[in-house]
Structure 1
């Protein structure tokens, strides 16, 4: 039993149309699935990824139209990284962000890698991270029809950062339960706090969790621009069942096995209250759509198909499949 890396990150948006415009037309990611929240079909669930939605490349959003402002703080996933192939790509992105008036901090360095922190239009905290010298979990492949040149395109998810009031409880779950390894530390941009780095599987940018300990902060109040959960990759359903047994044995309340149609899942919260998901690599997003048409129409899992007319009537129309250069 070994987790294979980061599977996906799910966040919150208040406006699916604006979200789609930013992540496809500005960031150049591909919308590989336009669906709904399976637990609340009244809201969109949008999946942005590489060319075919490989595991480890998905950044997803739930549209909660009345979501308020996020008040950042503790007990949170406080940023999500997106991988690019090279340091040169970051130079391209810095110019692109200036062109599109995207808020960013300029190119810097974290854990020996060049990075470019930025925010989307709702304050979602993101970081582009260079794979120039990366060794570890393989990256995805940018979509050739993206408005961003493929050599500079986003290739998948990089490290996520957790902000917690106390390290030990989260560290124990990562290392003793989930099989992470301690990989080192670095100072945050203010030079004040050590950021602790843990890795899984082959390691590298696609398989790291960074932890910031901030006991002085209030608990985060999530809203638009906040992260809902992070998911880690599991090989298949049989292995996920073994993980369910381990999580249950640890007396961690969990969801049990959940069929998400495109993958199988298990959800639980670690002691600092952050929601983790374990998700299988398959069967994948081409289960119900041709790869060429991914994300162009509303896709529903079989158990919601008989409610399609009602579900679509309650959603604001969202035209997808067109991209601006």
Structure 2
């Protein structure tokens, strides 16, 4: 029987953009991830919330964005989620993306070795920081299915979320919390960096924690990460986490039904951590062929569709015109 407290990997990462349109083109046309859901922020229904993932929106592949057009630029700093990880199948895929970034004038570094894995760092136009991780020789949490009709060859394409990087000034305290609250297993422990794993581990279940006592605290805005979510199996697991948070005295949101998944949120230090169920997923309300092309609303917002469509600006995500 599955342990209801076990985290099975990274579920999704949510970041902030100042332009859903530009971000959509970057993530789909350059990175080759599929838009699987265009919806609204359920807590701010006048703004878009976009979900990019693998070919069928598998959990563990979702990179999502809140679109806040008038929000100021974020400030990179300590006590924040400092870099988003994405997975590619092998080292050759890193070479492919290196050339692609040069072709599309994307700010990038060079292919490097990080804890025995080949990686490639790059940035979006708004300053959002990413790192590609090669799955060559990787074992652990299974990756997704590359976008079958995307602009990147399927044997090179991004097909899942990689290790999330968190930077904090209270390094030892945060290490302790990750282990005590979330049962994360330390794989590497050095003076100023630690690597933790959840579930089956590997690139799809890993957190990189860095110590930074010098840089000022980061400020959220566009170009920064809003939160990270970890995977659990089902409703019973979410309710178990609600009870656990209550028992150990962690303030939390309570159970939240996001329609595409169930969730619970808690802020650990400065970091907003969500726990989300693998289902129901993104395939229930749109045909596979046209995922993400229409505005998708959960049932409790459907009665407000006319109001919502009148308040959000037009945003064309049709692929086959």
Q: Would the TM-score normalized by the shorter structure come out above 0.5?
A: yes
Structure 2: tracts of 5 or more residues without a match? none
Separation in structure 2 between the aligned mates of residue 169 and residue 303 of structure 1, nearest angstrom: 40
Aligned pairs (5 A) from 1:1-325? 1=3, 2-185=6-189, 194-270=192-268, 272-322=269-319
> In structure 2, what is the Cα distance between the partners aligned to 1:250 and 1:215?
28
Residues of 2 paired with 1:9 and 1:185: CA distance?
24
What TM-score, normalized to structure 1? 0.95
RMSD: 1.3
What is the aligned residue count? 317
- Following TM superposition, by how much is the alpha carbon of 1:179 offset from its aligned partner in structure 2, in angstroms? 1.3
What is the CA distance between 1:273 and its match in structure 2? 1.3
TM-score, structure 2 length as denominator?
Answer: 0.96
Contact residue 24 and residue 323 of structure 1 kept, 8 A: no
Distance (Å, rounded) in 2 between the aligned partners of 1:43 and 1:150:
32
- Shift, 1:48, TM fit: 0.2
Q: How many Å separate the matches in 1 of 2:184 and 2:29?
A: 36
Unpaired segments ≥5 residues, structure 1: 187-192
- Distance in 2 between residues matched to 1:200 and 1:221, nearest whole Å: 28
Contact 1:8–1:231, Cα closer than 8 Å, also in 2? yes
Q: Secondary structure at the match of 1:104?
A: coil
Could you tell me how far 1:278 is from its partner in structure 2? Answer: 0.2
Contact kept in structure 2, 1:82 and 1:127, CA below 8 Å: yes
Q: Distance in 2 between matches of 1:95 and 1:105?
A: 11
1:103-160 per-position Cα deviation (integer Å, ceiling 9, x unaligned): 0011111111000000011110000110001000000111110000001100100000
Give yes or no for contact 1:25–1:323 (8 Å, CA) kept in 2.
no
